[in-house]
Structure 1
């Protein structure tokens, strides 16, 4: 790992922790992205403005990278691109996104809610959920790379 990648990861971690802390401190809410997005889409009432601001803050990152020309978020196979289509293509990303959404519904939360906020609160339920997330991710990588022979 090169130094810049490590610094980018550390900065990203600090920003995620800061956002989670500010949300908990100011509104008493857990920064679980799946719950925030679900509430924004399906609930009515006074919680919608902060949920919208949070989601817009998350999705504005790639736009800011493009506008500034920083090569910090390259998700494409082209090293010259700042932000591009993922190597597996938009259809696979749509399928993956739907599966993640299904999983967060079945698991009653996501990696941000359980893995970041839940572990920080020493929640046993979040510890179990995060362990399952990590084990399934490891199994998925093993199967896709070594059994199915893919590079993703």
Structure 2
């Protein structure tokens, strides 16, 4: 995900949605500015294409990133999925996985607290996006093993982490 800074027309901090839009354009990723405070983008990952939504909450100076791997958890799998989420979230330093209560959509969520000026640097934007995609890629197989491979949560996580550690 390295981006040539020369292709980005800004070297300074910018408003969060503006900075992310410039980053997405530099990567050539399909994106849409939903509103002045929200932008969506499709980002290719190792396992799937992720939809990432960035929502700027001016009043709180928080940029919330939501990364959706297009996995729905059916009602019959909710209990083991929540158990798997708890085990995964214990391993995360930043952000967390969750399941939307309506629709059962799996998501990774992370909030960036920006200063009073509400500006986002290119480095912070790049690292936040890379981190969201990396965490989704890292744990995507665990959800596959649980939901479609009929593994229990512990076995699904163990299998996913062994597989990920073995990739070159």
TM-score, normalised to structure 1's length? Answer: 0.23
TM-score, normalised to structure 2's length? Answer: 0.22
Answer 1 or 2: which has greater helix percent. 1
More RCO (CA 8 Å, sep 6+) = 2
